Amino acid sequence: MKEIGVFLVGAAGKMGREIVRAIQKEEGMVLRGAADKQEVGKDVGELSGVGHLGVVIEEDLAKAISRLKPDVICDFTQAAALRENLSFFLDSKIPLVIGTTGLGNEEIETLRRNCEEKKMGCVIAPNFALGAVLMMHFSRIAARYLERAEIIEYHHAQKKDAPSGTAIKTAQGIKEVKDIAFSDKSEEVLSGARGALLGSVNIHSVRLPGFVAHQEVIWGGEGEILTIRHDSLSRSSFMPGVMRSIKKVYEEPRFYYGLEEVIGLTS
């Protein structure tokens, strides 16, 4: 069976190094190349703690991909870098897995249209943890029965975007089930105290050292509270979802928005 050759963009970052370690353990997959603005010229295996792999981090992304011809490209960078590289990715027509968050809804829909026009495979997911996908799934179910929810999401202090992509997608899912506007009678003494509003859901973002990625969806009903919470205690929690996404987009190339589409989870 042919090994899937992966090119990793953002290889020097924390998620990138975790993906290098995961690919080394994954049967039927091999790391073919790596790119980043940091740690250029270093062996990505040594950087990730798995030993010498003979794959060095390159800065010229286009030249490296053109030379190595990978089967799948993984982008785990930042939104600005992804926007800069997206035209090249689309022109290459190589199946793409995007774990970078920070793109707006219109940008994601434009990406969907471009991929469909080019008949190109792409997975873009705000969260690759299986438990997080189940949290979003259970929240859609709860929306059928309970009145209103608020979301509190907690991430490490280095996270660039707020609210998180997971919080936005959770609120979007709730809105699809229950698109009802609620009047909020509380008066903000400090502007922003009630958080951001998406549909009927207020979203509150916490950024502190010590967190990785955590979210709770708090539902209020008559005389009761339901809390649906997910905690990623390590970035290794995202790896099964990333590996499944690489295989899925290679074997069945189409556009997938969210890990739930990759694993076939339906509401």
Catalytic annotation, residues:
155, 159
Interatomic CA distance for residues 13 and 34, integer angstroms: 11
Provide the 3-class DSSP secondary structure of residue 156.
coil
Cβ-contact 217, 149 below 8 angstroms:
yes
Partners of residue 43 on adjacent β-strands: 56
Whether the bond between 240 and the residue before it is cis, its omega within 30 degrees of 0, is no
Q: Whose CA is closest to 262, among 82, 130, 71, 172?
A: 130
Cβ-contact 225, 219 below 8 angstroms:
yes
What are the strands of the beta sheet with 122-124, ordered from one edge?
Answer: 57-58, 29-35, 4-9, 72-75, 96-98, 122-124, 255-257
Residues in the chain: 267
Interatomic CA distance for residues 3 and 27, integer angstroms: 8
What is the crossing angle of helices 130-143 and 165-177, to 10°?
Answer: 30
Q: Whose CA is closest to 123, among 16, 247, 239?
A: 247
What tokens were used for 22? 């995961």
What are the strands of the beta sheet with 213-221, ordered from one edge?
Answer: 196-198, 201-207, 148-155, 213-221, 224-232
